[in-house]
Amino acid sequence: MFPVVLVLVWGAVFAIWWYVKPRRATPPVAPGALPIIGHAHRMVGSTLQIWEKEKFLYNFCLENGGIVELRLGPQPVYVLTDLDDCLTIANSCLDKPYIYEFGKPLYGRGLVTTNASLWKPKRKLLHPAFSQQVLNTFVPEYTLEARRLVDELANEAGKDQFDVVPYLLKNVLGSVYKTVIGVKPNDKEHETTLKNYAHATDSFFEMLVDRVYSVWLHLPLIFNMTYLKKKQDAVLKILKNITETIILNRKSERKQNIYENPLKEHTSGYKSLLDHLLEVGEKQILTDEEIREHLDTVIGAAYDSSTRAMTFCLVLIGTYPNVQARIQKELQEVFDDSDRDLTRHDLPKLVYLEAVLKETLRLYPPVPRIGKCSESEVKLKNYTFPAGTAFFLSVYGMNRHPVWGADANEFKPERWLSPDTLPENPNAFATFSIGKRNCIGKQSAIMSMKTTLAYILRRYSITADVKNLQCKCDLILKPASGHYIGLKTRT
């Protein structure tokens, strides 16, 4: 009898405490939550369907105070679009949620997946390799790949509309591989290696997506027993072997002092990221494994995102003849009738082309959300959250925030031509992330994409229709359909 009374008394005391205890203010819960599983069922469906649900969530967040609660089972996750709160999270929460662990078998201590304690010193080591002085030396490599691209596109000119993505993937991976690894041109062995690396990277991304959207596979115990784990191990072996072989070969060349600058006939000389990392490694600061992780991270981060960004850009340019005419007029003013190569001095002159590119990146950010995890208590404008809270900053939502004006959802490159037509809050453009842990490759991405687009539009006129465009999203926002373009050779 006494145990029963004790349980009843304990239950009554707990009930009183539950109702009188101070409660934290909590954000509104996103629509569609079910008992126990929360919003987990909304992660089921095709990547096109999931993106439509994700857009709905971001718009709901914009309309309901800039922060909403998402429930993945019993675990709350908070989605933010408020610009000030997003910056607070970005600067105070340098760790990532657990799903970023899924990429660590390949990317390990790379800048995207490493934990907060290692990120700052690693970023400091890599920063010199992304200085403007170094990036300027990459321009000849971008131009070489751009010329190859427009020559290959000649096969499509004057024909029906076609899928430009495979051409752009080859272009981007070629540019990134040269500036990151430092391969030699017209080397059949390296071309084969490039294809194998691209195929394996695509496979790894697909497996990451499968795991992210299959909630039961989030548990390592279950995932490790699946065929997907065996398949991932096989792909990881291919990718690691390729990068490790390149590192060993370059170390041998450096040791024998026979390494010559690749593309010597095309440039005044540049230092690849690999050479920079090897110099650091020679000081016993980085291991070969850490060097591999950084190389794979940089290649993986740029590979798919730049390709999709340029695809969206070409579709928008092909949709708006006035925009295309203005770009080509600017190119004519810079290059006249010459077919000379673009130089680093030309890039700052392509002001309108950069405005078109940035407006595309604003409306179609390759990475539409960024995960964060708090290491300590976080105080936002209206809410306080304890350590261990998971957040997702909606890049898509920030880029379409009301501070952009009533035309926030419209494609208007002109808004980038004057500070008066841009939001006062610099965090309104979040495509390359915001705060301390932003994208180290922002400037190199813009330079390489501007170069490639300039070459395409110097040679061709484009037709497309953005009204037919449908998007899907896994790790990257990409076109699902309606993104084919037509080319006509300019005279």
Concatenate the DSSP letters of all residues of 150-213 into one string: HHHHTTTTTSS-B--HHHHHHHHHHHHHHHHT-PPTT-HHHHHHHHHHHHHHHHHHHHHHHHHT
Name the percent of the chain lying above pLDDT 90.
69
Residues 62 and 400 sit within 8 Å (Cβ to Cβ) = yes
Task: State residue 176's pLDDT score.
Answer: 87
Any idea which residue has 């675990």 for tokens? 75
Residue 449's φ and ψ, nearest 5 degrees, are -70, -40
Residues 298 and 274 sit within 8 Å (Cβ to Cβ) = no
Q: In angstroms, rounded to a whole number, what is the distance separating the alpha carbons of residues 292 and 300?
A: 12
How far from 168 is each of 184, 278, 314, CA to CA, in Å? 20, 30, 11
Dihedral of alpha carbons 146, 149, 150, 151, sign: positive
pLDDT at residue 466 is higher than 70: yes
Q: What does the domain layout of the chain look like in residue ranges?
A: 25-489
Dump pLDDT digits (tens) for 143-185: 999 999 999 999 999 999 999 999 999 999 889 888 888 766 4
According to CATH, the topology of domain 25-489 is Cytochrome p450 (1.10.630)
Instruction: Say what the alpha-carbon torsion angle 118, 121, 127, 129 is, to the nearest 10 degrees.
Output: -80
Instruction: Say what the alpha-carbon torsion angle 445, 450, 455, 460 is, to the nearest 10 degrees.
Output: 120
Confidence band, pLDDT 50/70/90 cuts, at residue 11: very low
Q: In angstroms, rounded to a whole number, what is the distance separating the alpha carbons of residues 177 and 181?
A: 5
Could you tell me the strand order of the sheet in which 390-394 lies? 67-72, 75-80, 390-394, 369-373
Mean pLDDT of 223-242: 95
Give the orientation angle of helix 321-335 with respect to helix 442-459, to 10 degrees.
Answer: 90
Rounded to two decimals, what is the model's pTM?
0.90
For the stretch 197-207, what's the b/e string if a residue is b when 16 or more beta carbons lie within 10 angstroms of its beta carbon? bbebbebbbeb
Instruction: Say what the alpha-carbon torsion angle 55, 56, 60, 61 is, to the nearest 10 degrees.
Output: -30
pLDDT at residue 269 is higher than 80: no
Any idea which residue has 């002085």 for tokens? 133
